[in-house]
Amino acid sequence: MKLVKIFITLASLILVLLFLLQNTNAVNIDLIFAKYDNVSVSFIMVGALAVGILIGYGVAVANILSTKAEIRSLRTQNRRLSDELNDLRNVAIDEGIYDLDDGDE
């Protein structure tokens, strides 16, 4: 299965590179804070992909960390409740409850 993943990754990488090599037109970019002249479209596409990957990676890391914190909290709560349940199971039963009332005390 690992070889199939590597093959698919390499094939998609080759397709992306072929697509980028065909887009060599130069364009002007005017951002709010900077202006760039004669920038290749393929460079813009790679830059947008890189920014998207970084944002996605950041969101994934934040999601994983919050999930791990939640799991840690739930495990602590589970351990506390299990200890409480074991303590309640091991409590000595009051013998007076099971005494039969004959009415002559």
Question: Domain ranges in the chain?
Answer: 18-89
**pLDDT tens digits for 60-82?**
999 999 999 999 999 999 999 99
Encoded tokens for 90? 């091991």
Question: What pLDDT is stored for residue 81 in this prediction?
Answer: 95
Question: What pLDDT is stored for residue 100 in this prediction?
Answer: 57
Q: pLDDT at residue 95 above 60?
A: no
Question: What pLDDT is stored for residue 57 in this prediction?
Answer: 93
* Cβ atoms of residues 43 and 29 within 8 Å: no
Closest CA to 72 of 60, 64, 82: 64
The answer, as to whether pTM is greater than 0.75, is: no
**pLDDT tens digits for 8-63?**
989 998 898 888 888 888 889 888 898 989 988 888 888 888 999 999 999 999 99
Q: pLDDT at residue 101 above 70?
A: no
* Cβ atoms of residues 56 and 68 within 8 Å: no
Question: What pLDDT is stored for residue 46 in this prediction?
Answer: 86
d(CA 35, CA 38): 10
